[in-house]
Amino acid sequence: MSLAEKASRAFSIADLREMSRRRLPRAIFDFFDGGAEDEIALRDNLAAFQRVRVLPKALNDVSRVDLSCDFVGAKSAMPLAIAPTGAANFGRHGADIAIAQAAAAAGIPYTLSTSATTTIEALADAAPGRLWFQAYILANKEKLAALIARAHEADYEGLMITVDLPVGGKRERDFRNQLVFPFKYTPKNVLDFATKPFWSLGMLLKGVPEMENIKEIKRDNPGGKKLASSVGKNYDPAFDWTQLQIMRDNWKRKMIVKGVMQPADAARLAEMGIDAIVVSNHGGRQLDSSPATLDAMPAIIRAVGGKVPVLVDGGVRRGSDILKARAMGAQGVLIGRATLFGAIAAGYPGATRAIEILRDELSRTMQLSGVANMTEIDRDLIFSTH
Q: Which are the catalytic amino acids?
A: 282
Q: Is 134 annotated as a binding residue?
A: yes
Q: Is 339 annotated as a binding residue?
A: no
Q: How far apart are CA 345 and CA 278, in angstroms?
A: 27
Q: Is 101 annotated as a binding residue?
A: no
Q: Is 337 annotated as a binding residue?
A: yes
Q: Is 152 annotated as a binding residue?
A: no
Q: Is 316 annotated as a binding residue?
A: yes
> Going by C-beta distance under 8 Å and a sequence separation of 6 or more, which residues neighbour residue 155?
124, 131
Q: Is 84 annotated as a binding residue?
A: yes
Q: Is 313 annotated as a binding residue?
A: yes
Q: Is 314 annotated as a binding residue?
A: yes
Do the beta carbons of residue 39 and residue 285 sit within 8 Å? no
Strands 276-279 and 69-71: unpaired
The count of C-alpha atoms lying within 13 angstroms of the C-alpha of 327, restricted to the half-sphere facing its C-beta, is 26
Q: Is 86 annotated as a binding residue?
A: yes
- Residue list for the binding site for glyoxylate: 136, 171, 282, 285
- Residue list for the binding site for FMN: 84-86, 113, 134, 162, 258, 280, 313-317, 336-337
- Residue list for the binding site: 84-86, 113, 134, 136, 162, 171, 258, 280, 282, 285, 313-317, 336-337
